[in-house]
Structure 1
Amino acid sequence: MHNTLLHHFYNMLIIEQDYFECHEIMEDAWKSKGTFTKMDKEVFLVLIATAEYHYRRDNLNGAKRSYIRALNIFHSHPFNLNSIGLKESFIDLIGERIKEIDDAPFKPLSYPIIDSVFNALYEASDFDSITEFESYLNEIHIKNHETVHRHKIRDRTDVIEERLMALNRKKRD
């Protein structure tokens, strides 16, 4: 997975908190690989973004299922978390998130990202100091309707047309 893709993903995940877009970014990256399986690192990140999306919208069951599926991928096909921009402590953080989800209102995660990802996000920001940037990261909580409910309000015309065409092809075959 190349650094530009990861930086874009983490900008959407941490700064923009557009979890739906994170899902789209990583799903596209996953599907563009020559060969792919549902046990790939990209799917792990898709599921984390999906879990955050569900949690923020109070779909706790959907969030738990997505977090658990992500952890199952990691535990059944372990990989170096640094290769996807995360520190090893992330797995424990997700375990804690699952345990606390029923009793804690959604709050964005403080992702334990590796230094190169942090530095790329900082360099792309308008902050004058790292301290200022770190404070911002600890406080940011996007709540606008368009971001929080993206999958319900997006234009799905192309998806509906594609499904209809696939259904018509199936009927002809």
Structure 2
Amino acid sequence: MIHQYPQSYIDYLVHFHGDRDYFECHEILEEYWKENTPMERDSIWVGWIQLAVALYHQRRSNFSGAGRMINKALEKFRLHSEDLKTFGVDSRFFMEQLQELKAAIQAHTPYTSLQLPITDQKLNQMCLLRSSEKGFQWGKESDLSNQMITDRHRLRDRQDVILLRERELIKRKKRSASE
């Protein structure tokens, strides 16, 4: 059976295994989740997002945040365990990996890169090609010296977020004034 994967999922996998930019993984799938399953907090897409965030936190030694996220991700993946097959991964091995990751986070074990157990060879080939196009080395360990990867939440350009928040504040003030 050939399965059609959303481009956002492929891009998630490319960043997950290519440059290990888990912040970007989060951004890519958050947008997809909002567009396709808006506000479904139990969506499996949220599980994928939370997995990336857990690894981002673990890499920064924020074990408290990593622990919260991996627990939430595990909850989502258990809820959707039958759906995992449609994501081209070995669901049993994947869940074992997540349990091991949870134990490592609880033990405050330093981050190590995680390779998802992709079983769909066509998906793997698509990801390898896309990774190569982006100049990434598929499966390479995370570059812990790259601050744009490890501290992305602090170093990214937030101008668009700031402008959006300012516009929302102005709208709220206008509504309050007219009531």
What TM-score bracket applies, with the shorter chain setting the length? 0.7 to 0.9
The DSSP-based 3-state class of the residue aligned with 1:38 is coil
**1:22 and 2:25 aligned:** yes
Q: Is the 8 A contact 1:44 1:74 kept in 2?
A: yes
2:103 and 2:38 map into 1 onto residues whose CA distance is 34
TM-score (norm 1): 0.84
**Paired position in structure 2 for 1:118:** 124
* Structure 1: unaligned runs, 5 residues or longer: 127-132
The offset of 1:15, in angstroms, is 0.9
Determine whether 1:107 maps to 2:108.
no
Detail structure 1 runs of 4+ shifted over 6 Å in the superposition. none
Q: Which one scores higher on RCO, CA 8 angstroms, separation ≥ 6?
A: 2
Give the gaps of 5 or more residues in structure 2. none
Post-superposition Cα deviations, 1:90-134, rounded to whole Å, max 9, x if no partner, equal 1121111111222421101121112232222334455xxxxxx8x
Equivalent residue runs for 1:82-161 within 5 Å: 82-88=85-91, 89-101=93-105, 102-115=107-120, 116-124=122-130, 137=139, 139-143=140-144, 144-161=146-163
Q: Any idea what SS the aligned residue of 1:55 has?
A: helix
Considering only aligned residues, what root-mean-square deviation do their CA atoms show, in Å? 2.1
1:42-80 residue CA offsets vs partner (Å, 9 max, x unmatched): 111110111111111111110111010011122234442
Question: Structure 1 vs Structure 2: percent identity of aligned residues?
Answer: 30
1:73 pairs with 2:76? yes
